[in-house]
Amino acid sequence: MLKSIEGNFDNPEVHELLTKHFVELRAASPEGSAHVLDIPGLKDKSIKFWSLWQDELLMGCGALKFLEKNHGEFKSIRIHDNFRRMGNGINVINHLINEAKKLNIKKLSIETGAGDFFKPARKLFKQCGFEICDPFAHYKEDINSVYLTKSL
């Protein structure tokens, strides 16, 4: 049974997963092209964050940032190492899509890396119906970034 908890930054497992996510993405992105948020950044009032649990085990997490009235951006989607390569990325994305719909979001966008490290993420987003788009919000053209969007 999958359950989600909003916020939950103080949980040590969530904190560890987000810290690993931040460190790994910073290392995989050239300077100036890393757009990953740290925990204080995820606590911004424009962002909703959820951790997802399978029974009592942390499966993953993800966040939704409000860009405009009906436009949101996915942030910090991460699957715990124990749940990777098992189709759980789709579970996190579907959860975030359902939450976005409840919040009357009509369009979702995401920025991810263009390098090989990010290839699984790009594949997953395309499987979920996201398509390549131009930079959105504060983003600018960057050979190290790929921008994707999906209408709900």
Asked if 107 contacts 149 with a C-beta cutoff of 8 angstroms, the reply is yes
pLDDT in tens, 17-40: 888 887 776 766 667 666 767 788
- To the question of domain 2-151 being in CATH 3.30.43.10, the answer is no
Across residues 51-68, what is the average pLDDT?
Answer: 93
Asked if 22 contacts 78 with a C-beta cutoff of 8 angstroms, the reply is no
Q: What is the pLDDT of residue 40?
A: 83
Q: List the chain domain ranges.
A: 2-151
Is residue 87 very low, low, confident or very high in pLDDT (cuts 50, 70, 90)?
Answer: confident
Q: What is the pTM of this model?
A: 0.88
Q: What is the pLDDT of residue 66?
A: 96
Considering only CA atoms, which of 41, 36, 3 is closest in space to residue 20? Answer: 36
